Structure 1
Amino acid sequence: MKNICIIGAGFAAISAIKHLRKHDKDLQITLISASSDFLYYPSLIWIPTKLRKGKDLTFSLSNFLRKNNVKFVRGNVSTISNGGRQVILEDNTAIENDALIIATGAKFIKSISGIENTYTLCEGLGSAEAISRKLDSLDSGVISFGFSGNPKEITALRGGPIFELMFGVDTYLRGHKDRNKFTLKFFSPAEKPGIRLGEKAYNGLIQSIKEKGIEIASLGAKLVEFSANEVVTEKTKFLSDLTIFMPGLTGPDWLKSTNLPLSEGGMILADKHARVLGFQKTYAIGDCASYDAPDWAPKQAHMADIQGKAAALNCLSDLNGEIGLHTFNWELACIIDTLDGGTLVYRTQKHSVVISSWLLHWVKIMFEKYYIWLIR
């Protein structure tokens, strides 16, 4: 019986498992991850504003794995050998496979001096809860929101959650505290942060920032340092009692110990079929992968789902002695939530749609509940 190993337990891995099992009921699937818990990352934006608690967003994958007849191996990967056919864990356990799907996600680049004085929302539940506690402790002050990218990997950034959290905190303060006692600031080393959403969406973001009285503290200037109460760029510096910052992304550290092809930005190089360049029956999907993609290509759960399907179908074809030629289309799909409404942004290489409505806040909530119900 053929054994497919999947490294990682996030959106990309879940998608791959679903499509593998849909097309082959007997295939052996082994999932390797440090934890069998799943975290619904898109809703971390609601932890600081009390719309969600941790228990609402995290749960064990045990039922999902059982239903799909997946063997779970708990561990951290050390390296990959034998052309991808062997995964070595940190405890030296070796796991053989007939095909390998790498879906480990990425890690944040923590190279700016004093970055430990900031909070990175998407690092996980603990970080989101820490932001919530810090926000609770403030009766007034300056709250700053910012994000940056990976200069060597143009698509390796995650700015959407920062806009959502910033707008959400603004709405939350208006309803639960005295908004007039707080100054909200936005910063980014990018000249036009959010432009990957498209010109119309970007203009809408800037207009919303201004309408909500959020100060644009710095754009287009390199970030130099964070202190406990200050943000310093090459051109300016400003006070900040709470700094929420999303750094750029790169690949996990263990990739450096392999002979996998890596981009300059530290991601696994893969082709349009999600195959790792130069490797047989080895695939990279989700945030850890680097593709020949448009400059607006997103690192988000929606694309991870799409890539997971393509990798699964190509993997099955390759194992059957065929050449899998399934590809995927680049799509950016998100709802930029504000707690009291939202803006839908949908972008492909041919189309761009931007729609704003109070209903979209509830659409985002319903999608979260539906996805969690499907997996749980």
Structure 2
Amino acid sequence: MPRVTVIGAGFAALTAVRKLRAADASLTIDLIAPKPEFVFYPGTIWVPTGLRQPEDLVVPLEPFFKRMNVNYRQASAQGMGEAGRVVSTDKGDVRNDGLIIACGGRFIRKLPGIEHSLLPCGGVDVVTQIRDRLRALEGGTLAFGFAGNPKEPSAMRGGPVFEFLFGIDTWLRQQGKRDKFKLVFFTPAEKPGQRLGPKAVEGIMREMAKRNIETHLGHKMKAFEANKVITEGGEFAADMILFMPGMTGNQWFDNTELPRSEGGMIKADQFCQVEGWDKVYVAGDSGSFPGPDWLPKQAHMADLQAEAAVANLMDNFSGKAASHTFKAELVCIVDSFSSGMLVARTPSKNLVLPSFVGFHWAKRAFEWAYLRKYR
């Protein structure tokens, strides 16, 4: 039977494993990742406010690998040979008959002084630092911002920053300390959240005004200092800075001949197949895909791309050409700790439902249901 290698242990990678095993019980699956664990990043927004503990969001994957009959290889990918048939790792080579690259992307941390900021999607250790820093402050200015990759419009993840911003604002109000803090939102974009759609932008800006959150918009980032955010439009003091930069491809991609987009991602076609490579697919944040300019980098999209990649790879093994595409769809709940705004977007529709407590509980229910598949 064919041997498939999956690189990664995130949303796209684990969805690929489930779909591969469902498609063929006898398939040999090798999974390469540095750690046998899954981090549920959407839930990290609740760590600073105490709704989640870091350990709630890290799922050991050994039981899942055993159930799925996966050969887990604890290693880091470093390169590729034989047109994708061999993956080079720091623990040796892994051969395959088919490959799915789902190892995520890399944040561009090149701004001078960026080490003075905290990366909201930097993992449980970073959000724990945010929690501890927040609790140590008696007052001051909290700055929340994001930027993109100018050469890769889709390589932006701003939604979680809104959730950290609104969630921390709500928590401070519940603690009776909001009047001691100034909250500032900043981004080079003049209209933040455009990927969510015009209605969502209006709703987010209204919510900021309602919560007395100051904004610093439309100015290119220049640098950070220990207690300062500096842009081309001015600077402002900040006692804690949360900043989400744009994304690019992983560094090990440079050691391969994989086709790359201008922004550094792996170029894929509408079937998630790496352009010009036989039985090599990409899903999630690693790839640059055709689609609308708002095509999101989010877990839901990664899952849809992984499903398409697996369906096409299995067809390839049967001698068929790739034909399965993925649906361009953005679905998210912009959570604010006690309620949430629902946003959905397709090429033909853009739905925005105002903040409602039920959406917050729906997001928590989805987390439980999603993680149950891997626990």
Q: Same fold (TM over 0.5)?
A: yes
In 2, the alpha carbon distance for the partners of 1:169 and 1:17 equals 36
Q: Which amino acid aligns with 2:154?
A: T
In 2, the alpha carbon distance for the partners of 1:178 and 1:193 equals 27
In 2, the alpha carbon distance for the partners of 1:325 and 1:223 equals 42
Q: Show CA shifts across 1:31-89 (max 9, x none).
A: 00001111100010000010000111102111111111111000011101100000001
Q: Which amino acid aligns with 2:315?
A: S
**Matching residue of 1:37:** 37
In 2, the alpha carbon distance for the partners of 1:213 and 1:230 equals 20
Q: Show CA shifts across 1:155-208 (max 9, x none).
A: 101000000010000000001241100000000011111011111111000000
Q: Which amino acid aligns with 1:334?
A: C
1:23 aligned onto 2:23? yes
In 2, the alpha carbon distance for the partners of 1:197 and 1:88 equals 38
1:363 aligned onto 2:362? yes
Matches within 5 A, 1:292-331: 292-331=290-329
In 2, the alpha carbon distance for the partners of 1:190 and 1:90 equals 40
Q: Show CA shifts across 1:16-41 (max 9, x none).
A: 11111111111001000001111100
Matches within 5 A, 1:36-55: 36-55=36-55
What is the CA-CA distance between 1:344 and the residue it aligns to? 0.6
What is the CA-CA distance between 1:90 and the residue it aligns to? 2.0
Q: Which amino acid aligns with 2:264?
A: G
SS of corresponding position for 2:200: helix
1:106 aligned onto 2:112? no
In 2, the alpha carbon distance for the partners of 1:51 and 1:191 equals 32
What is the CA-CA distance between 1:154 and the residue it aligns to? 0.3
**Matching residue of 2:69:** 69
SS of corresponding position for 2:59: strand
**Matching residue of 1:268:** 266
**Matching residue of 1:58:** 58
SS of corresponding position for 1:50: coil
**Matching residue of 1:95:** 94
In 1, the alpha carbon distance for the partners of 2:242 and 2:30 equals 37
SS of corresponding position for 2:150: coil
TM-score of the two chains, using structure 1 as the length reference: 0.98
Q: Which amino acid aligns with 1:193?
A: P
Matches within 5 A, 1:339-354: 339-354=337-352
Aligned residues: 374
In 2, the alpha carbon distance for the partners of 1:90 and 1:59 equals 24
- Checking the alignment, whether the CA contact within 8 Å between 2:59 and 2:374 is kept in structure 1 is no
Where does the alignment leave 5 or more consecutive residues of structure 1 unmatched? none
In 1, the alpha carbon distance for the partners of 2:50 and 2:176 equals 13
Q: Which amino acid aligns with 2:136?
A: S
SS of corresponding position for 1:29: strand
What is the CA-CA distance between 1:324 and the residue it aligns to? 2.4
What is the CA-CA distance between 1:281 and the residue it aligns to? 0.2
TM-score of the two chains, using structure 2 as the length reference: 0.99
**Matching residue of 1:288:** 286
**Matching residue of 1:190:** 189
* Superposition RMSD in Å: 0.7
- Checking the alignment, whether the CA contact within 8 Å between 2:158 and 2:244 is kept in structure 1 is yes
SS of corresponding position for 1:123: coil
**Matching residue of 1:247:** 245
Matches within 5 A, 1:111-260: 111-216=110-215, 218-260=216-258
**Matching residue of 2:373:** 374
SS of corresponding position for 1:144: strand
Q: Show CA shifts across 1:219-262 (max 9, x none).
A: 11111110010000011100000000000000100001100000
In 1, the alpha carbon distance for the partners of 2:107 and 2:314 equals 32
In 2, the alpha carbon distance for the partners of 1:293 and 1:322 equals 24
- Checking the alignment, whether the CA contact within 8 Å between 2:268 and 2:287 is kept in structure 1 is yes
In 2, the alpha carbon distance for the partners of 1:220 and 1:343 equals 24
In 2, the alpha carbon distance for the partners of 1:375 and 1:352 equals 32
1:82 aligned onto 2:120? no
